[in-house]
Amino acid sequence: MKLYLIDLGYPLNKFYVIAKDPTAAYSKLRKDLDKHDYGFRKEREMKVIKLIAEDVFYPECGVRLIQ
């Protein structure tokens, strides 16, 4: 698993998501935002996604995630 930081590009719209890949991370976040009818639809679109940590012994990103 990996930890991603997803930025929707609006103030206070940054989220940390644990998922296996970037697509799954955004899908997980989007499902939650849609479920709670969070903001306007255009405010739910991803602007930036960044890998923060990985659950492996030698992470490429340099930070190990412990679950």
pLDDT in tens, 4-54: 999 999 888 999 999 999 999 999 999 999 999 988 888 899 999 999 999
Which positions ≥6 away from 32 have C-beta within 8 Å? 38
Strand order in the sheet with 48-54: 14-19, 2-7, 48-54
Model confidence at 55: pLDDT above 90? yes
